[in-house]
């Protein structure tokens, strides 16, 4: 959360911040997420809320949780499909 406030680059601070977010998620064993452009406003509002509400990160945690759930459901669907394909191939 703090990185986004620093803005060390002329351009690309948001992209870099989202990459760092994914790095932290992957270090903890979670898949990377992609904050949709349509949610960018909400994403930035989470930072505003964090800085104005005494460093309360609950809104960002909620947003990231939603994206993680969505991503994990995609992974589950991929595994299900792979299992179905495997079963069909075994039956010949």
Residue 80 or 47, more confident: 80
The first and second tokens of residue 23, run together, are 């790095």
State the sign of the Cα–Cα–Cα–Cα dihedral 81, 82, 87, 88: positive
pLDDT band of 51, cuts 50, 70, 90: confident
Does domain 2-91 bear CATH number 1.10.3290.10? yes
Rounded Cα–Cα distance for residues 28 and 4 (Å): 20
Looking at residue 60, its pLDDT comes to: 93
CA angle in degrees (0–180, nearest 5) for 79-83-88? 150
- Please pick, among 1, 5, 7, 40, the residue that the annotation labels catalytic: 7
| Sequential DSSP letters for 17-66 | HHHHHHHHHHHTTPPP----GGGHHHHHHHHHHHHHTTS--HHHHHHHHH
Binding site for ATP: which residues? Answer: 11-18, 43-44, 53
The first and second tokens of residue 14, run together, are 């948001």
Looking at residue 46, its pLDDT comes to: 92
Q: Would you call 51 a catalytic residue per the annotation?
A: no
Could you tell me which of 65, 67, 8, 62 has the C-alpha nearest to residue 36? 67
Asked whether the predicted pLDDT for residue 4 surpasses 90, the reply is: no
Residue spans per domain, the chain: 2-91
Binding site: which residues? Answer: 11-18, 43-44, 53
């Amino acid at each position: 959360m703090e990185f986004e406030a620093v803005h060390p680059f002329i351009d690309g601070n948001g992209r870099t911040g989202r990459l760092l977010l994914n790095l932290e998620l992957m270090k903890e064993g979670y898949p990377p997420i992609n904050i949709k452009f349509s949610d960018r406003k909400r994403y930035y509002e989470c930072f505003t809320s964090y800085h104005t509400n005494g460093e309360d990160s609950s809104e960002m945690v909620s947003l990231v949780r939603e994206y993680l759930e969505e991503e994990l459901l995609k992974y589950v669907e991929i595994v299900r499909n792979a299992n179905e394909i495997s079963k069909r191939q075994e039956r010949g």
